[in-house]
Amino acid sequence: MVNIRNKGHQNAPSSPKGEVGEIDTRAPFQSVKAAVSLFGEVAVSREKRAVKKSNLSSENVLDKETQHLLALRELNKIKQQLEKAQTTKNRALTELEKAEKTLQDLTTKLKTVSESKHSAIEAAEAVKNKAKKLEAERSRNVIGREAWKQELDHARKEYTTTVIELDAAKQELNKIRQDFDAALEAKLAAFQQGAEAQRSANVNREKASELSKEVAAMRLSIQHLKLAAVQAQQEHSKIVAEKDACIDSQKSAKVEAEKKLMSLKKEVDPKSYKNLDAKFAETSAEIEVLQEEMKKAHATEMEAVRVVALELNEASKTLQELAEEESSLRSLVSSLQLELEDVKKEQAELKEREVAAESLAAKLNAEVQNSKANAELEEKDLDVSDDLSMKLQQLLSEAENDEREAEEMKRNANELMREAKADTIASEEVEKKLELALREAEEAMAAEKRVLDEMKIFSEKKDTNHYLNSEPGTTIKLSVGEFDSLNKKVQESEILAEKKEEAAMAQLEAITASKNEVDRKLEANLKAIEEIEMATKVAMTKAEMAESAKTMVEGELQKWRQEEQNVRSEAASTFIEHSVKSSVSIPLLL
């Protein structure tokens, strides 16, 4: 850095003008290089600030991108959980279909068992009918045999055993029907659980769609932020280019200024230096005045903001107080209304009591008059008259007491009426106060809206002034509210995911439990069906045995009939022969 003052002192002995006198020709800046360096430092500091602000904006964008990635991860987790729930639902549906198939098989088997049962019953009835016919034929035929009786007893025993087995089969069928009803109930419960799982899946889908919408909105906001960051970078690059151009122009101006300085040094005039010093002092004083005015204006603005904030706080406090007063007044009005209702009820009761007292007084007067008449008629009997006089006095005293009570009741009723009127007046006053409080609350709300509008206008003006005073491209920031809202959304998505996972696990456990119950019931039903099939097989074999026994009995009966016919024919032939012999012997004797 070249010092002009030193140069002046060095050139003083060489120049002839230096010996005339010392003049203070010190400039505010020692050289043009010093001024350029100062302005350059200011520009560099501004560039650093712009770079810092751009770095902050890029960091904010990165924060938003990380939050977006976290939200996407949460959404993927929720989607995976939804897929798991869907798979569990599909498994449950397949298991329900299997259960339905097994139930259909059971129904078909039950139908076959019932048909076999009906056929066995019909066969037993046929055997019974044939046995009855055989017994009828046996009763008709006098001559019988012990073998046929034994066979018939054997057939009866087999018939009784078949009947007992049929009763057991009926009981088993009833048990199977009960198990079938229980299986149907389990099936209905499984269907209900499937419907609940479907509903929960639909709810999860709706929540997932809402989350996807929120993620899409976040993506749009991130794209807007990226565009804003790109614009800010472009503006920053423009500013840097403009600053480079300014630096180049300043360098060229510096060179020109140095040239002019050299020329001015040759043509130095002390008066011009003095004028420049005076102008510089004036400009510096004006700058200081302007800075003080700016500080004062800023202080006034801040005071106005504080005053508005205080007014807002006071207005909110007054609103809260008015709301509390309104609630208290409403509670008072409700309590007064309840008291009015109670007073009205008491008035009605008092009126009823007055009517009852009047009726009692009328009855007592009638009794007094009757007693007086009876006393006049029975004046001869002194004892009776004394008793009547005593009764009359008692009745009169009771009537007086009743009248006094009636008067007291009337007084109480009048007092209650007055209190009711006072309560109504007080309630009207309270309603008026309520209306006034509501009006004041509305006015306070309007004042609050006005203050908020003024605050908005003031903040917009302040933002516009700040935007005009600040350089473009350096004020891209995220608000604390947006950051908190994003964090809250992430936390809510985590909580929703946990809740959905817990619900899905609970549904899975319920479905598995119902599946196990259905499997157990199906196994029991299958075992019962197998037992029924075995019993039906045994019954069929016994029915076949009964049919074979029946055929044997029929064959024996046919043989017995043939033998009986043969015996009858032999007896007839012997009788004929005997008659012929007798007829032949009679003429010989003659």
Q: Say yes or no to pLDDT of 251 above 70.
A: yes
The first and second tokens of residue 177, run together, are 């029907």
Where are the domains positioned within the chain? 305-469
Instruction: Match 């019909």 to its residue by tokens.
Output: 122
What's the pLDDT at 1?
A: 39
The first and second tokens of residue 481, run together, are 């509210």
Whole-angstrom distance, CA of residue 142 vs CA of residue 568? 14
Give the rounded percent of residues in the chain with a pLDDT score beyond 90.
0
Instruction: Match 């044997």 to its residue by tokens.
Output: 552
- The CA radius of gyration of the chain, in Å to the nearest whole number, is 61
Give the mean model confidence (pLDDT) for residues 66-74: 75
Whole-angstrom distance, CA of residue 240 vs CA of residue 238? 5
pLDDT per residue as tens digits for the range 451-506:
556 655 655 554 554 444 444 444 434 455 655 665 666 566 557 656 755 765 67
Pick from 187, 131, 45: nearest CA to 515:
187
- The CATH classification number of 305-469 equals 1.10.287
Q: Contact at 8 Å (CB) between 365 and 396?
A: no
Q: What angle do CA 169, 174, 180 make, to 5 degrees?
A: 120
What confidence category does residue 438 fall into, taking pLDDT thresholds of 50, 70 and 90?
low
Handedness of CA 484, 486, 492, 495 (dihedral sign): negative
Whole-angstrom distance, CA of residue 55 vs CA of residue 41? 21
The first and second tokens of residue 511, run together, are 């479905």
Give the rounded percent of residues in the chain with a pLDDT score beyond 70.
29
pTM (predicted TM-score): 0.23
Whole-angstrom distance, CA of residue 334 vs CA of residue 426? 12
Q: Say yes or no to pLDDT of 27 above 60.
A: no
Whole-angstrom distance, CA of residue 123 vs CA of residue 117? 10
What's the pLDDT at 49?
A: 55
Burial 473-495 (b: 16+ CB within 10 A, else e): bbebebeeeeeeebeebeeebee
pLDDT per residue as tens digits for the range 508-553:
576 567 656 756 766 766 676 566 667 656 656 665 665 666 567 6
Q: What angle do CA 541, 545, 546 make, to 5 degrees?
A: 115
Whole-angstrom distance, CA of residue 552 vs CA of residue 560? 12
**DSSP states of 172-237 as a string?**
HHHHHHHHHHHHHHHHHHHHHHHHHHHHHHHHHHHHHHHHHHHHHHHHHHHHHHHHHHHHHHHHHH
